[in-house]
Structure 1
């Protein structure tokens, strides 16, 4: 593929420090996201059962995604071709090849994907923003699907396979991280650190028994911002902005957390070679 890893341990350590600084900057939820939970307590009582049922389906689909990948699995070839646009056959595009790709190239492709997906989310948010509360039944499942898609594509960028259940668990944790408060973020970072240190899936799967909370938190994070979608015309603007920022946040979390994993693994490899 014409690319080889040329990173020094010092460079990787410096980049890891940048990620750790980003983790420290993940403060509490914005004020509007905090109070966003209050209107939804009211909306739950007002929302027609058919809409509640559709939102419930999104929760069930997330469970199916964790178990099997369901309808949300992406094709890795689409992402791999971004690394090797001149590849002539699928045999030239293997996920394990990315282990030799420099991290900055991985970052470049991940950022390209983030930009592309936020544009799609913006259009989708503007479209569903017209109907306010009633199109929320469409908006949440679609946005959930976009979020899972962009996280899987970012996983592939850094050489990880979302067809593996352990990676799907990691992806759901990234999704949960993006909409959690500071306490939740801290707990998730500790869980992911534990995963990297080899305490693997049993503990993580146990913690994900409450995975329904991921969609509940995800839904609540819309909060009163979604109420503005009930205003004619303005709803399109708010819908576009909300979905754009949501996918942007999810993609940023996925990029930083997967980048950290790749850098830590390369530092370990560097240490092993030097011994």
Structure 2
């Protein structure tokens, strides 16, 4: 091996070591606590949503989360569709569901008067989407220390860990560890993906896990009063609203799972019939 190739290999090895060390340092400074497994009923290929939990989760969203967070992809009628929080088999059309009608009527939505063209506000109907709590992004920033609260329509799909992450994060706010400089408008959470190395004044080898959020802890024990008598602990509220957000991100998930099981059973049956036909046809051909 000539000297040029030897030097090249040494340089490459050095670069690989630097990259490895840099990546290791980055992972150490941007670590986070793994979400707790909350054992949701909808997990797995045969899992289904607990309707009572979805109703509790909607209440948490309505009374707490909707003050800051929108759900632009969700319409009121979705709440009454099959598998939804307020589904009632008596009302095949969710627009006819009286509970959904009542929920929609509790909201005001912006509209245009068809006769004058003026902007007006009216009571929502089942066909309307959930209204935003703010008129525009600037208003959202002004009310949240300069940060825009994310839309929650598909939040569990957009976050690694899904509903388990959302539930763990909502129940996981903690006082900032000693040695971590956190602004007055920020709040420490070990489950949040973030980089705390630049704010950490302690041992550089012991950077805390997690990150900071502009959102203060939104939930607490007895933050809401559940209609079904379930005790509203912090963890219960976090699990319930996480389940609701998981359903909202894919309202047809349960139906799709059931369809998948039916298709698999059909294919197995057809495979058996095909094999039996093959044996029958070719029995005497050998």
Normalised-by-shorter TM-score class = under 0.3
Give me the TM-score of the superposition, normalised by structure 1: 0.27
| Structure index of larger Rg | 2
- Name which structure has the greater RCO, CA cutoff 8 Å, separation 6+: 1
Give me the TM-score of the superposition, normalised by structure 2: 0.26
Q: Which structure: greater helix fraction? A: 1
Q: Which structure: greater strand fraction? A: 2
